[in-house]
Structure 1
Amino acid sequence: MALLDSREFGDHQWKKISQQELDVVLEKHKLFANGRTGGERATLSMYDLSYLDLSGRNLARIECAGTLFCHCDLSDANLEGAVLFAADMRFTNLKRVKLDKADIRGACLAGSDLTGATLIDADMRDGVLLKPKKGGGDLIPVIHEDATGGFEKATIRGANMTGAKVSDSMIVQTDMTDCILRNAKFIRTNLSLSNLTGCDLEGADFTDANLSGAIFHGAVFNHTNLSNADLSGADLVGAIFDNMDLTKVNLDVAYLAKRVEDMDVSLQEAILMHARWVDSNGSEGHRAVFSKTDLTGKDLSGVNLAASDFSFAILQKVDFARSELLMADLSFADLRKANLARADLRGAKLSRANLVEANLVGAQLSEIVISTKAQGGKVRTNLDHAILRDAKMNGADLRSADLESADLRGADLRDADLRGASLLDADLTNADLRGAILDGADTRGALGLPGGE
């Protein structure tokens, strides 16, 4: 294979290869990866593959230690078990790539897009590649120009990193929204200012990690180890804590939901003032604002709370039965085991709310028609990315509701009306849909539907 040129940084030289030459190498590797005759494992360590197209390729077990992948297209590629030790993957398109059990130690992925990638059991710990100095002699570290290992300012939305080893890495200012991080190791990792909204953190280990300024809205902490983690300035409002030992965690420096006792006015007074505000079209009283407040177990049944603000509130086991919650903001709220039976939630915002085992029997969740001087038209009830696992939704009116990417696994949707609803990428695995009406619903990408995936 002829090499076109080379790039040299200090004592290190990267071999350059053309797209046409690379395609030949990768075709042979494909045969190797598939166990076919004539195959040959690709060894591209210390090559410069910058700006080349490797998308959709079977690159399982490829050898690419110290390789330059800057600005490459690796989307939809299979890199299972690949050796990417100390590779430079800055600004690389890694959407939907498979990196399960890959060796990514010391690799630089700053600015890369790993949306929808899988990194199950991948090794992403710190590491340094050593090579002999030019002319022989001592081993010296391979250093990429202006690159350091880690994921700084990368996008890792929706990636599955179950069991990944990420200890001692840099993941600063990284978007990790909706990642699955079960049993992942983040010991001494710097995750400062990163966005972990909606992450599944069950069994993850953040011992001695830097989580300062990180955002955990709607993240689920279950048997998560936060021992000696730095949570200064971390936003834990709307996070879910289950089976947690917080004795070695300093939460005083983090942002958490406030207790109802710390409100400026009593709960009863706030409800009365809100009723006056609603009845007078806003000319008297005050809107009820319970955002970021812990109201666990309170009885708010049969109350008019239309257009109230419960965003990021802790509402576990709250009784909202038959209450009016039209146009209310319940986004990111913790509504686990809450009673919303026959409540009027038309036009409400429930984006990323946690409604595990909630009672929504007969609830009104259809769109609402608004006709005022300021605005007009229909407003859909927003349940996108809401967690409705094992929720009781028998007979609920969900016409035209937005349930995009909602988790409806095990939900009881018998006789529910879902006409015109958006179920894009929703998960209805093991949901009971007997008698449910789905006419006109958008079910593209939905899981668990009869006759579907």
Structure 2
Amino acid sequence: MSTRPPGIQSQSDARPADGGQQGRKILEGKRIPQQLIARIEELHRRYLLRKPNGWRAHLRDCDLSGLDLRGLNFAEAQFVSCNFANADLEDARFSRADLFSANFDRANLTRTNFDGADLRGAQFEGAELNAATLDGANLGLGVVFKHGADSSIRQSVSSFKSANLRGTNLSGAKLSGASFEGAALDRVNMKGADLRDTKFAGAKLVDVLLAAANLDDADLREAIMDEDTFKRTDLSGARRSRRAPSPEHLEQILAAHILWIHSDRREGIRADFTETFLGGCNLAGKILAGAKFERAILSDANLEGAILAAANFRGAVLTRANLSRADLRGADLRGADLTGAKQDRVLTGNLEGTSLATRRA
């Protein structure tokens, strides 16, 4: 009696009989129903245990979207270019599996094990990867070949856009070129990871471990990074926000800026914090009218009662900043992120004697 799941193709490149496989069987281009996935896993377990009549799961371009795969063991399986969108893979095991160009968009990957897996070109947009482990996984660039009448070649980089990664282990992972735009990374372990050319625009990094990670040309300019992560990470090779000035240097900048204001811009120097990391900085009550804060990181900064009239905050990150009683008349806040910012009794509107008004978008 055949143990082959329906629709599986058999090819001639045989596997030794002690592996329980009498030929290479491929399930290709199929929609996998829920009742079949348990049978596929049962045969795959037999393969892993080297029992008779086992079958190494080998699926290509199959649709597993929305399926329940919780707790299933597909270590060393092959799911090339398969679709797992919206599937539940909590506690599933895919260690050393071939998941080249797979789609995990919006999937539940809580505690899923991808250690050592081939995930080149895989997509994780909007996925939940809380406590997932991808130790040593390859998530680099994938080149996808499409055969047939409309044959084509396309390159695909792994994407974690808007994904949630809390307690996720990415230590030693190959992530060159990957996108983490808009992702939430909380207590993520990226020690020794290859993060060259990665993109973190809009990503939030809290208590992330990046020791010995390769961050050459990683784009962290618009990332929101907590102070601890920022201070303990070697960002010398990354494209990043400028480091915060020392307290002594900051006082010099403020004094030169006040002179610039009082001399009608003839003396002193206008304060320029463009793309500067000022997370948690205390600027309460400071006079910074007309200062430049474009794309600066001001998360958790204290700006209570500060004079910020006509200041430029375009694209700045002001998450959880304290702006209570600040003077923002004529300030430019277009593109700024004010999520969670305190704005009690903020002064906004037209700046007297000018044509400027507070601008938001």
Answer yes or no: same fold by TM over 0.5.
yes
Counterpart Cα distance in 2 of 1:365 and 1:349: 14
Task: Indicate whether 1:43 and 2:46 are aligned.
Answer: no
Aligned to 1:451: none
For the residue of structure 1 that corresponds to 2:25, the secondary structure is strand
- More deviation in 116-125 or 6-15? 6-15
Give the structure 2 partner of residue 140 of structure 1. none
- Conserved 8 A contact 1:316-1:338: yes
Q: Is the 8 A contact 1:258 1:293 kept in 2?
A: yes
Q: Classify 1:191/1:292 alpha carbon distance in 2 versus 1 (closer, same or farther; 3 Å).
A: same
Structure 2 partner of 1:158: 126
Partner letter of residue 137 of structure 2?
A: S
| Equivalent residue runs for 1:372-451 within 5 Å | 381-382=360-361
1:73 partner letter = D
User: In structure 2, how many angstroms separate the alpha carbons of the residues matched to 1:312 and 1:98?
Assistant: 38
Indicate yes or no: 2:333 matched with 1:337: no
Residues of 2 paired with 1:313 and 1:231: CA distance?
19
CA deviations over 1:357-379 (Å, ceiling 9, x no partner)? x321144899xxxxx9xxxxxx9
Give the superposition deviation at 1:159. 1.4
- What code does the residue aligned with 1:42 have? R
| Residues 325 and 345, structure 2, Cα contact 8 Å, conserved in 1 | yes
Say whether the 8 Å CA contact 2:254–2:288 is kept in structure 1. Answer: no
Shift of 1:5: 6.1
> Which residue of structure 2 aligns with residue 77 of structure 1?
67
- Of 196, 199, 208 in structure 2, the residue corresponding to residue 215 of structure 1 is 199
Cα drift, residue 103 of structure 1: 0.9
Choose from 13, 28, 52 the match for 1:10. 13
**Number of residue pairs aligned between Structure 1 and Structure 2:** 306
Identity percentage of aligned residues: 17
Distance 2:318 2:303 in 1: 13
Provide the rounded CA distance (Å) in 2 between the counterparts of 1:117 and 1:92: 13
Q: Pick closer, same or farther for the CA change 1:225–1:68 going to 2, 3 Å.
A: same
Deviations 1:49-75 (A, max 9, x none): xxxxxxxxxxxxxx98532142x2322
Q: Distance in 1 between matches of 2:347 and 2:81?
A: 46
Aligned match of 1:96: 86
Q: Quick check: 1:196–1:217 contact (8 Å CA) kept in 2?
A: yes
Larger relative contact order, structure 1 or 2 (CA cutoff 8 Å, min sep 6)? 2
Q: In 2, Cα distance between the equivalents of 1:76 and 1:301?
A: 54
Q: Is the 8 A contact 1:64 1:87 kept in 2?
A: no
| Larger relative helix fraction | 2
Name the amino acid aligned to 2:274. Answer: S
Which SS does the other structure have where 1:43 is aligned? helix
Match of 2:273 among 285, 290, 297: 290
Cα shift readout 1:286-323 (whole Å, capped 9, x = no counterpart): 998633113432357676549x6521434642426464
Judging changes above 3 Å, is the alpha-carbon distance between structure 1 residues 158 and 340 closer, same or farther for their aligned structure 2 residues?
farther
Q: Structure 2 counterpart of 1:67, which letter?
A: H
**1:14 touches 1:46 (CA, 8 Å); kept in 2?**
no
User: Residue by residue, what CA displacement relative to the aligned partner does 1:311-339 show, whole Å, maximum 9, x if unpaired?
Assistant: 143464242646446984134x1544332
Question: Aligned residue for 2:139?
Answer: 171
Look up the match of 1:68.
Answer: 59
| Deviation of 1:115 (Å) | 2.1
Structure 1 residues without counterparts, runs of 5 or longer = 31-40, 48-62, 127-148, 278-285, 367-371, 373-378, 383-453
Cα distance, 1:19 vs structure 2: 6.0
Tell me how far apart the structure 2 counterparts of residues 215 and 16 of structure 1 sit (CA, whole Å): 35
TM-fit CA distance, 1:177:
2.1
What is the TM-score of this pair, normalised by structure 2?
Answer: 0.66
When residues 108 and 363 of structure 1 are mapped into structure 2, their CA distance, relative to the original with a 3 A threshold, is farther
Secondary structure (helix, strand or coil) at the match of 1:42 reads: helix
CA separation in 2, counterparts of 1:309 and 1:244? Answer: 21
Residue-by-residue CA offset, 1:25-70 (whole Å, 9 max, x unaligned): x44x69xxxxxxxxxx4236789xxxxxxxxxxxxxxx98532142
2:26–2:58 contact (8 Å) kept in structure 1: no
Letter of the 2:40 counterpart: T
2:211 is equivalent to residue 227 of structure 1 = yes
TM-score, length basis structure 1: 0.54
Aligned residue for 1:68, secondary structure, equals strand
Q: Residues 65 and 365 (structure 1 numbering): CA distance in 2 closer, same or farther, change over 3 Å?
A: farther
More divergent stretch after superposition (72-81 vs 335-344): 335-344
Question: CA 1:336–1:106 in 2, change beyond 3 Å: closer, same or farther?
Answer: same
1:86 aligns with 2:73: no
* Cα drift, residue 150 of structure 1: 2.4
- Tell whether 2:156 aligns with 1:188: no
Question: Quick one: distance in 2 between partners of 1:365 and 1:119?
Answer: 44
Question: Which segments of 5 or more consecutive residues in structure 2 lack a partner in the other structure?
Answer: 15-22, 45-53, 141-156, 350-354
- 1:347 is displaced (CA, Å) by 7.7
